[in-house]
Structure formats: structure tokens, C-alpha cells
Amino acid sequence: MKGHRLWVIAFLAFMTNGASLLGIGQGSAGSVARAIECNHNIAHNIQTAKALGLLVGNPPLKARAGFLGPFQVDCSVLGMCSVLA
């Protein structure tokens, strides 16, 4: 039975890498992984381009709350009039 396990592992190794060993790189496991990664990158770039396309020509929205202006501190409450003056 020891030889049987070896042949099963050898068969599985040949099935996953046999195409690249025979010179047919399009059918190997590595090329399938590269194709999946490439398709993922293309889809991600298309989504990014569409998102950026929606922003073209549209200025950023301004905050509705206005700036309240400079703040005034009552130095007598803080007890630091000489430092703030």
C-alpha cells in the first residue's frame, strides 16, 4: 500500500502541474491563478474609474454649518488675565 499512496500523490501533482511541464502553460494551476488575479485587478480598476468618473465636474460639497468666528475668552473667569493680555 505504500506505493499506492505515492502514485496517487504523483498523479495529483501531474494533474496540477503537468500542463506546464509539457509546455502548455495555459492549462497549469499557476496560469489559472494569474488569470483570476488579473480579472480581479481589472474589475477593481473599472470600479475605481467609474467612482472617479462620478466626481468629474462636481465640486466638493461645502459644510452647511458656518464658521462661528474668533472665540472670546473671559480672562477673569480663568484667573489668567496677565498671561492672556
Task: Phi first, then psi: give them for residue 68, nearest 5 degrees.
Answer: -80, -10
The grid coordinates listed for 23 are 509546455
Q: What is the pLDDT of residue 42?
A: 95
Estimate to the nearest angstrom the gap between the alpha carbon of 17 and the chain centroid. Answer: 30
Question: Which has more confidence, 66 or 82?
Answer: 82
Question: Which has more confidence, 55 or 84?
Answer: 55
Whole-number Cα distances in Å, 17 to 12, 22, 29, 34, 44:
9, 9, 6, 14, 29
Cβ neighbors of 4 (< 8 A, separation 6 or more) are: none
Q: What is the pLDDT of residue 10?
A: 87
Q: How far is residue 26's CA from residue 23's CA, in Å, rounded to a whole number? A: 9
Q: What is the pLDDT of residue 64?
A: 63
Q: How far is residue 36's CA from residue 45's CA, in Å, rounded to a whole number? A: 14
pLDDT in tens, 2-50: 678 889 988 888 877 777 777 776 666 777 788 889 999 999 999 999 8
Reply yes or no on whether the pLDDT at 65 is more than 70. no
| Domains of the chain by residue range | 1-58
Q: What is the pLDDT of residue 26?
A: 64
